[in-house]
Structure 1
Amino acid sequence: MKHLKLVLALAMITFVASCKKSNSDQLAVKTETQKDANGFSYESVTNDPTGLRLYTLDNGLQVYLSKNTEEPKIQTYIAVRAGSNYDPKESTGLAHYLEHMVFKGTDKVGTVDWETEKKYLDTISNLYEKHRATRDGGEKLEIYKEIDRVSLEASNYSVANEYDKMSSSLGATGTNAYTWFEQTVYTNKIPANELDKFLALESERFSQVVLRLFHTELEAVFEEFNRGQDSDGRKRYAAMLEGLFPKHPYGQQTTIGTAEHLKNPSMVDIHNYFDKYYVPNNMAVVLVGDFDFEATIKKVNTTFGKFERKEVAHPVLPTEEPLTTIVENEVFGPTAESLSIAFRTSGVNTEQEKFVTLADMILANGSAGLLDLNLNQKQLVQYAGCSTTFLNDYGYHSFSGSPKEGQSLEDLKGLILEQIEKLKKGEFEDWMIDAVVNDLKKSQLSQYENSTAVADAYVNAFIHDEKWEDKVKFIDDLKKITKQELVDFANSFYKDNYVVTYKRKGADDKIVKVSNPGITPVNLNRGANSKYIEEFNKMESEALKPVYVDYASAIKETKTESGIKVSYIENETNDLFDMNIIFDMGSDNDKKLDLAVGYLEYLGTEKYSNEDLKKEFYKLGVDYYVNTGNEKTYIGLSGLKENLPKGLELLEELLDNAVPNQEAYNKYVQSIAKGRQNNKTNKGSILRRGLLNYAKYGENSSLRNIISVSDLEKVNPQELVDLTKDLKNYKQRMFYYGKDVDNAVSALNTSHKVSTDLKDYPEAMTFEEKETGGNVFFVDFDMVQSEMMFLAKGEPFKAENMAASTLFNTYFGGGLSSIVFQEIRESKSLAYSAWSNYSTAREKDESNYVMAYIGTQANKMPQAVDAMMELMNDMPESEAQFNAAKESTLKKIAAQRINKSSIFWSYERLQKLGMSEDNREAMYNAIKDMTLADLREFFNSNIKGEDYNVMVIGNKKDVDLTALNKLGKVQEMDIDHIFNYEKSEDVKM
């Protein structure tokens, strides 16, 4: 959060990609109404693999329940059918800002004296109405100063983040919310034994909204607004929507709102919005996890059933005229050029949704789609893809792409449109529709294991008023569509009726500069409690006991005929498999290995062309990958168990018989060079990879251990093919997750033939961790915000420190109720995002690190730095907050389950730290006995007084370099040097 959810197509797709049904032939699907043991009526759908029970309480609240016993947790969502579409035109951003305020409590939660506090809040509300009404700048400023003064007085009676403290005390994770066009959704994942307390807390939370700590939270929303201005992807997306929807709020009102409206909020409008739409017959409670159906619906009815139904009048939104021309838009920013092409569609619950979904998968499915094969595999573009989004009133089929070096956006557009023309001409093979449907069904098998994916699907169904029966049938309905029907649809739908948005490099003259209002820090009252939390803490839940993994018995072993060890775990859930061949060497052993493995993606054999291989794998419902990291290389195969032998045979054919292709290699090098150019325009990569790595290792690091483009041009492709073929001659081990391990080993014996005398790995390069302190590494970047990280090298890894560091991170620097978040964001409004943690080493011989982060407006940076440094040298102490953090940490460990394939991968991580047993038991027992004095000792020994390297990215015109000089010697860094790129990435091939 309380963040604006990134509005990407894949984040809000319909059921077809986020929630799936079983891999079977079409079965009878119908909705049935039944009664449970308590007499509550519910709907269920026959042959629904999610096992949904959909209850509707007397007050109209819909309750989606589904059982999943993989872990003793419950994924919870509370969804409201109201989002930014419903914002008043004079108050855009209202729904999203209300989302933030729902975390602030009620007249019982978050206050020590409601009657007194309310008088101040009423005064603040009146002042905001006065502030909104006046047009005189000087008068506005004086009113705001009065708002700031009264807000400080009001904060004497509030308790910051009390809701977050209570949710954290349950052991909840993922406490957050998001707002979009048609919904506002509140999320938590809780231990199953805490359901009673959760329902009590949430029903109190949604009983009313209290707008306390209003102006400080509004400043956080401004910071969020600035982050959006720094995202070229969001700008391109907003311009696309504006072109698609010239009348409808989809294109005319952003969820975050306009700067002008954010500067002039109305607390009255927010209250009215809550009272109008946050009513039970416009809401849903979604619970997916380990619970008893009958007991759970009874509890939901006891808590949420007391809310009163109100008539809800949803706004009548404008109807769009058909698009009959091509609309072109441009946006500008510092990142690499890209474009989108979007066709407006009908909304959910329409036949058009089915046809567009199928067309989308024919065009791009990650393997054998027209865009995949004709553009990405042939390296005619840097990247091209597409996705669908279906909303209540309309939807869109959007195509996105980035050009390769020397390619114009207009040329890229033409290449993408050519693939749509191929669809219209039926230039795809007859088996593709069946393969697409099977691909979707394969995805269903894995996604239905995930309680969060199932809960997401229920939320979408509720928001879009979809019958679950239709969702269960959806993919089988796709299978009924014939190739000719799809071609006919494509010809009628994909015309010169799209919106193309060019994201070009250049200065953005639409950036809104936001001033620092100079907010007086409000009081957090960290040691205070409301009467509600005191009673809440008295509620007892049945203790949940932790379950630890006995790796020796959980991971079984066998061998191939060649003597290769195969570790395996049985998949007891479905018929999917995942096989990995593991080599304990990577690019640190041979920096050409990563190059060779990447090149393999574009090669074929004498028997199969590259395109044929992709098609054969897709027909089988099997995916493969070959991946190299710094220390390890993986050859992976996954998919439908019955097709493992054929899939492995195909993979071995590629590994053994790949044929070098000079043209493909030339394009591959061009793609690498272009990728490096693009990387230099990505502020996240510059800060979190480039600068962070440089601050840790200096000149000599894995990140900088790369081959220059000029040297890449000289490499013989045959050398790379020989390198991948030689992989099988090195020592290796395997991990298999799936059913019938004997069949898997048999397939390995048949297809993966290796010598019994395998080679040792080449010696790996080592990279020394540098001492930290006294350095400020700065990169000048065209952005509104500034971002900075602090890094201090700690002592080498010690297993005995893991318990204290885990508890410290919960208490001090991680999460909404942590000390850092409260002080820097909640009290002082100095950043949208701020955190700190004690980062444990990945390997036993490496060092731990103290890290911190601030993302804020450049004009707040000096204050934010002072606030962070003060915290890092003098940890505020609160016995109550410590106890809450301790309880939260213990409950999270107790509810955690390491199962399925994650058992093996968690064991791999432990071994790198020199451990072979589940260390969570020792951590749990240690944390149980810890006191605040123990945490203070850990802080004083590991955090206080550390010397930091500081990494900063921001606009040099706005950043106060004098203030940065107080932290150390400021060095303005060259981006090419950080990544060890050549100054000129032009490729002469």
Structure 2
Amino acid sequence: MKQIKIVVMLCFLATFNIACKQNDTDETNKTVKSEVKKDTNGFSYEIVNNDPTGLRLYTLENGLQVYLSQNTDEPKIQTYIAVRAGSNYDPSNSTGLAHYLEHMLFKGTDEIGTLDWEKEKEYIKQISDLYEAHRAETDEAKKLEIYQKIDEVSLEASNYSVANEYDKMVSGMGASGTNAHTWFEETVYKNKIPANELNKWLTLESDRFSKLVLRLFHTELEAVFEEFNRTQDDDGRKVYTALLDGLFPKHPYGQQQTIGVSDHLKNPSLVDINNYFNTYYVPNNMAMVLVGDLDFDKTIQEVNNTFGKLEKKEVTHLVLPTEEPITASKVREVFGPTSENIAIGYRSNGVNTEDEKFVTLANMVLSNGQAGLIDLDLNQKQLVQRAGSYTMFLNDYGLQQFYGSPKEGQSLDEVKDLIFAQIDKVKKGEFDEWLLEATINDLKLSQTKQYESSTALASAYFNAFIHHEKWSEKVQFLDELRAITKQELVDFANRFYQDNYVVVYKRKGEDSNVVKVENPGITPVNLNRDKSSDYLNHFQDIEAEALQPKFVDYKSAIKETALDNGVKVSFIENETNDLFNLNIIFDMGTDNDKKLGLAVGFLEYIGTDTMSAEDIKKEFYKLGVNYYVSAGSDVSYIGLSGLKENLPKGLELLENLLTHAKSDPEAYASYVDKILKGRQNGKTQKRNILWNGLVNYGQYGENSRLRNILKASELKSQDPQELVDIVKGIKDYKQRIFYYGKDLDQAVAALNKDHKLNSPLKDYPEATSYIEKDTGGNVYFVDYDMVQSEMVFLAKGKPFDAENLAAAGLFNAYFGSGLSSIVFQEIRESKSLAYSAFSNYDTANRKEESNYVKAYIGTQANKMEQAVDAMMTLMSDMPEAEEQFEAAKDAALKKISAQRITKASIFWSYENLKKLGIENDNREAMYNTIKNMEMSDLRDFFNNNIKGENYNIMVIGNKKDIDFKALSKLGEIKEMDVDYLFNYDTTADVKM
């Protein structure tokens, strides 16, 4: 339901650029062709030969495009409904409109979510008229009067509405991931549903998209304000916005943020929103994507029976401004509390152009995460704190963005110059020929991994639709990259990388552009959670064929063998592709040896007697194999993954590194500087402060893993050779191996050959224990320059008990998580006190640990007291709604019925269960327990585990905005120093 965060979207696009469309070439068209066929119902569909995804692309008579693909790993279907319209089409005086509309599509129709439409619609018409008057009025006092009238009429209207009926119905099917996002050219609606519920889902969705009702509008509008505030607290988003503004001075990419501007948010037009829906939400401007356990012929018939009834309308897309060439560099500055960094952007042409091909390849040569020029010359050599690049291609234009964070004492301009030096290497052709082929193989490897996931594949399909891309051209894209010569890429780089960039300096400091949003004082609306529409009642009577749960017999699903030296090897065959994953597991970690994490991190920057660290990275990249050595608190891994045929060579290379690693004092000094600078950067991140620093302190006090660190002076005094010896010595400890892949014999043979061990293997050192402290009566506060305030409520509960898992899961679904949960409805839907609010009963990860009650609120500081009161009321007296309980119960059972633990997840889920003292698939016991539960059982669980708990409350916000008098009612306020929370030595950590 929320607008997708820009950073998430950028990572997503960077991932899926591997499969973007390109122009035809005679050569590739000989091998990749589209073909039209007909199914048994007579529906025509398009397929692509040599398509690893098996797509069938249908187009209904009304223009709706339907992307279907099978994935039978689990009896679920990933669904997307994509609309080719986003914030680019917002009227210039109504920015944020497409995003409003996305939110309102969850509010129901003239049948869904209404108790009496004939009465309700009169109030909604009044509200619409009042908003038009409010928008036109210039006198602030009169605007306030109109808004108060809107609030009054909205309360009356809520007597005839039911909040979140849509979510009740989809969650009642067992759906997960119910959400939506809005972006420049798209609005996309998401659900992952059990396969047997497809026809019910299609019925509901076709009705949802046939009629828009702007119900409960003013409370949702306030939620959007809260979302707007969150963007103002996101420095990364500010950098991105400034970069787009410089690259696109005319186009909506740079001039219209999806969230909208404050003045437009304050003055919405329901008329404009309805017009937008009627113009763009039509079948010939939409696509449906279904990937999962489906029957092609039956599915398209059901889609046609439902969505085929939607009326086709002529759609005229806006003609958007054309940008002039950038002939000189542009500079922007952004201020905020987080650490400094720099962004450099180059504008390119968009999808379906030659630029997309060449920029994609150039970007991989520069930054592929392992052996690119920036990876090796800057990150590997620790010349900067961090640097990289990514690409983004949209319909009209694209961009390549470089980013960099400075080391301590390094200026942003120095980072910029280092990045430009790497770009110059591409322009001069100063990179190895093999890198081109290796990057394409790397893209192919990533694509293979991603296409295993129904969600990732479905995302690739909807992106193809939004960007008008033929799937045949996406399939052949990597072949087109492979045809590019080094000289062609060099020639392109010299044309593309000129003095035509935008640079954004992110500096620490106060942001003078922050917009303060007042609390409008909304009267809580009626939720009517104990009532339901006629539509919902009829909908629940529709029966789907029952889906039977399947549980895992771990003992038979996980095969076992042993190496010649007796080390146990657990094995699950990869039946999907030729990729492997090999893990050597040590049941010890930093709790056993505080230096272990430091040592394995140092391995990243050192080589051997015969190979440099850079050479090792190159060799792994050539093989299409990744390695890692990691240390958690209680378990450590030596891991290897990639192409099965290269497992023996990859293992040989890794074992050579582990055996012959060579200390490098100069690299270690840089490594320490990097750690210390990372600490300084980390303590400027509010999420890190809240969820790591404050929550750990609230749970453990001074004696926590977070605070038990090596101080700066200790880091600097370490002998690098001792750390290398720790890495080399890890193989001397007891261990076990998990292999997921094909050809177990090959893997065992490679391990017997190269994984040489000393005998006998050592027992693990004794682990440090951390004692959970009792909670209650404390308010821990950190001052932070932000618009919103955020708080976490934390209460230590009872010790872990497997018997409570079923009740805990059902309680969380009913009470604390999801759009139709009690907490979300009360705090956001009814009272508009927060954009994000949830509560959950956190069961322990280990049998010897305690469970915890947690709750979270992110809200404006001027709403904090009301929000806290609302949350604490709920945590003291659980509202009971029988219908909502039954819906949560059905949802829980259907989710278990549709869940399949497969592939490597079988092993890792078993690992987690064993930590809880459980040796079998406990979902079977949970299923049987939930099936027989009644509201009285949930009430008992609440009274025994939630009610009356004593909370520590962690708060982060701007000191000058916080109402400390209100906070003091919750406990003794203690303002915490961030360095103290993390146990940093400020003098030594800063001065290096």
TM-score of the pair, normalised by structure 2: 0.99
In the alignment, which residue of structure 1 is the partner of 2:429? 426
Q: Would you say 1:717 and 2:751 are equivalent positions?
A: no
Give 1:986 deviation, angstroms. Answer: 4.4
Task: Give the distance between the partners of 1:143 and 1:254, measured in 2 at CA.
Answer: 28
Residue type matched to 2:790 in 1? E
Residue type matched to 1:229 in 2? Q
Task: Give the distance between the partners of 2:991 and 2:98, measured in 1 at CA.
Answer: 53
In the alignment, which residue of structure 1 is the partner of 2:531? 528
Please, which of 750, 757, 763 is the counterpart of residue 760 of structure 1?
Answer: 763
Residue type matched to 1:11 in 2? F
Give 1:983 deviation, angstroms. Answer: 1.4
Task: Give the distance between the partners of 1:224 and 1:192, measured in 2 at CA.
Answer: 33
Task: Give the distance between the partners of 1:439 and 1:278, measured in 2 at CA.
Answer: 38
In the alignment, which residue of structure 1 is the partner of 2:247? 244
Would the aligned equivalents of 2:123 and 2:153 in 1 still touch at CA under 8 Å?
A: yes
Q: Deviations over 1:245-277 (max 9, x none)?
A: 000000000000000000000000000000000
| Unaligned 5+ runs, structure 2 | 23-27
Task: Give the distance between the partners of 2:588 and 2:760, measured in 1 at CA.
Answer: 17
Task: Give the distance between the partners of 2:13 and 2:375, measured in 1 at CA.
Answer: 23
Q: Would you say 1:601 and 2:604 are equivalent positions?
A: yes
SS in 2 for 1:830: coil
Task: Give the distance between the partners of 1:613 and 1:683, measured in 2 at CA.
Answer: 37
Task: Give the distance between the partners of 1:805 and 1:352, measured in 2 at CA.
Answer: 52
Would the aligned equivalents of 2:580 and 2:643 in 1 still touch at CA under 8 Å?
A: yes
Please, which of 371, 375, 381 is the counterpart of residue 378 of structure 1?
Answer: 381
Would the aligned equivalents of 1:280 and 1:307 in 2 still touch at CA under 8 Å?
A: yes
Residue correspondence of structure 1 range 343-354 to structure 2 within 5 A: 343-354=346-357
Would the aligned equivalents of 1:20 and 1:440 in 2 still touch at CA under 8 Å?
A: no
Q: Would you say 1:124 and 2:127 are equivalent positions?
A: yes
Please, which of 942, 950, 953 is the counterpart of residue 953 of structure 2?
Answer: 950
Task: Give the distance between the partners of 1:20 and 1:903, measured in 2 at CA.
Answer: 36
Task: Give the distance between the partners of 2:213 and 2:465, measured in 1 at CA.
Answer: 27
Q: Would you say 1:189 and 2:192 are equivalent positions?
A: yes
Cα distance, 1:704–1:15 mapped onto 2, change above 3 Å = closer
Give 1:756 deviation, angstroms. Answer: 3.0
Q: Deviations over 1:536-577 (max 9, x none)?
A: 000000000111000000111111111111111011111100
Task: Give the distance between the partners of 1:427 and 1:68, measured in 2 at CA.
Answer: 43
SS in 1 for 2:724: helix
Please, which of 454, 468, 471 is the counterpart of residue 471 of structure 2?
Answer: 468
Using the aligned pairs only, state the percent identity.
70
In the alignment, which residue of structure 2 is the partner of 1:940? 943
Task: Give the distance between the partners of 1:246 and 1:430, measured in 2 at CA.
Answer: 38
In the alignment, which residue of structure 2 is the partner of 1:442? 445
Q: Would you say 1:11 and 2:42 are equivalent positions?
A: no
Would the aligned equivalents of 1:378 and 1:602 in 2 still touch at CA under 8 Å?
A: yes
Q: Deviations over 1:409-449 (max 9, x none)?
A: 11111101110000111111011111011111111221111
Residue type matched to 1:888 in 2? A
Residue type matched to 2:541 in 1? K
SS in 1 for 2:410: coil
Cα distance, 1:272–1:20 mapped onto 2, change above 3 Å = closer
Task: Give the distance between the partners of 1:582 and 1:618, measured in 2 at CA.
Answer: 24
Question: How many residues were matched structurally?
Answer: 986
Residue correspondence of structure 1 range 395-414 to structure 2 within 5 A: 395-414=398-417
In the alignment, which residue of structure 2 is the partner of 1:558? 561
Residue correspondence of structure 1 range 315-354 to structure 2 within 5 A: 315-354=318-357
Give 1:607 deviation, angstroms. Answer: 1.2
In the alignment, which residue of structure 2 is the partner of 1:808? 811
Residue type matched to 1:887 in 2? D
SS in 2 for 1:909: helix
Task: Give the distance between the partners of 2:100 and 2:5, measured in 1 at CA.
Answer: 13
SS in 2 for 1:43: strand
SS in 1 for 2:987: coil
Q: Deviations over 1:112-169 (max 9, x none)?
A: 0001000000000000000000110000000000000000000000000000100100
Q: Would you say 1:629 and 2:635 are equivalent positions?
A: no
Task: Give the distance between the partners of 1:507 and 1:263, measured in 2 at CA.
Answer: 25
In the alignment, which residue of structure 1 is the partner of 2:142? 139
In the alignment, which residue of structure 2 is the partner of 1:829? 832
Residue type matched to 1:10 in 2? C
SS in 2 for 1:310: coil
Give 1:6 deviation, angstroms. Answer: 2.5
Task: Give the distance between the partners of 2:20 and 2:725, measured in 1 at CA.
Answer: 42
Would the aligned equivalents of 1:367 and 1:614 in 2 still touch at CA under 8 Å?
A: yes
Would the aligned equivalents of 2:699 and 2:775 in 1 still touch at CA under 8 Å?
A: yes
Would the aligned equivalents of 2:196 and 2:545 in 1 still touch at CA under 8 Å?
A: yes
Q: Would you say 1:494 and 2:497 are equivalent positions?
A: yes
Task: Give the distance between the partners of 1:986 and 1:729, measured in 2 at CA.
Answer: 34
Residue correspondence of structure 1 range 121-270 to structure 2 within 5 A: 121-270=124-273
Give 1:17 deviation, angstroms. Answer: 3.5
Task: Give the distance between the partners of 1:685 and 1:949, measured in 2 at CA.
Answer: 18
Please, which of 108, 127, 147 is the counterpart of residue 105 of structure 1?
Answer: 108
Residue correspondence of structure 1 range 21-40 to structure 2 within 5 A: 28-40=31-43
SS in 2 for 1:883: helix
Q: Deviations over 1:777-808 (max 9, x none)?
A: 00000000000000101110000000000000
Task: Give the distance between the partners of 2:844 and 2:6, measured in 1 at CA.
Answer: 31
SS in 1 for 2:332: strand
Would the aligned equivalents of 2:290 and 2:458 in 1 still touch at CA under 8 Å?
A: yes
Q: Deviations over 1:726-755 (max 9, x none)?
A: 111111111000001111011011111002
In the alignment, which residue of structure 2 is the partner of 1:519? 522
Q: Would you say 1:660 and 2:673 are equivalent positions?
A: no
Give 1:987 deviation, angstroms. Answer: 6.4
Q: Deviations over 1:314-354 (max 9, x none)?
A: 01100000111101000000000011100000000111100
Give 1:19 deviation, angstroms. Answer: 8.7
Give 1:907 deviation, angstroms. Answer: 0.4
Would the aligned equivalents of 2:182 and 2:258 in 1 still touch at CA under 8 Å?
A: yes
Task: Give the distance between the partners of 2:171 and 2:990, measured in 1 at CA.
Answer: 53
Q: Deviations over 1:926-967 (max 9, x none)?
A: 000000000000000000010000000000000111111100
SS in 2 for 1:713: helix
Q: Would you say 1:41 and 2:40 are equivalent positions?
A: no
Q: Would you say 1:278 and 2:281 are equivalent positions?
A: yes
Q: Deviations over 1:589-628 (max 9, x none)?
A: 1110000000000000011111100000000000000011
In the alignment, which residue of structure 2 is the partner of 1:651? 654
Cα distance, 1:885–1:675 mapped onto 2, change above 3 Å = same
Would the aligned equivalents of 2:21 and 2:469 in 1 still touch at CA under 8 Å?
A: no
In the alignment, which residue of structure 1 is the partner of 2:863? 860
Give 1:16 deviation, angstroms. Answer: 3.5
Residue type matched to 1:114 in 2? W
Residue type matched to 2:230 in 1? R
Would the aligned equivalents of 1:626 and 1:633 in 2 still touch at CA under 8 Å?
A: yes
Task: Give the distance between the partners of 2:21 and 2:716, measured in 1 at CA.
Answer: 45
Please, which of 539, 545, 555 is the counterpart of residue 542 of structure 2?
Answer: 539
Q: Deviations over 1:508-562 (max 9, x none)?
A: 0000000000000000001111110010000000000111000000111111111
Task: Give the distance between the partners of 1:290 and 1:473, measured in 2 at CA.
Answer: 26
Give 1:26 deviation, angstroms. Answer: 11
Q: Would you say 1:778 and 2:781 are equivalent positions?
A: yes
Task: Give the distance between the partners of 1:800 and 1:138, measured in 2 at CA.
Answer: 59
Task: Give the distance between the partners of 1:824 and 1:470, measured in 2 at CA.
Answer: 48
In the alignment, which residue of structure 2 is the partner of 1:2? 2
Q: Would you say 1:68 and 2:54 are equivalent positions?
A: no
Task: Give the distance between the partners of 1:159 and 1:486, measured in 2 at CA.
Answer: 59
Task: Give the distance between the partners of 2:19 and 2:794, measured in 1 at CA.
Answer: 38
SS in 1 for 2:774: coil
> In angstroms, what is the RMSD of aligned CA positions?
1.2
Would the aligned equivalents of 2:21 and 2:470 in 1 still touch at CA under 8 Å?
A: no
Q: Deviations over 1:898-940 (max 9, x none)?
A: 0100000000000000011000000000000000000000000
Please, which of 900, 903, 910 is the counterpart of residue 900 of structure 1?
Answer: 903
SS in 1 for 2:171: helix
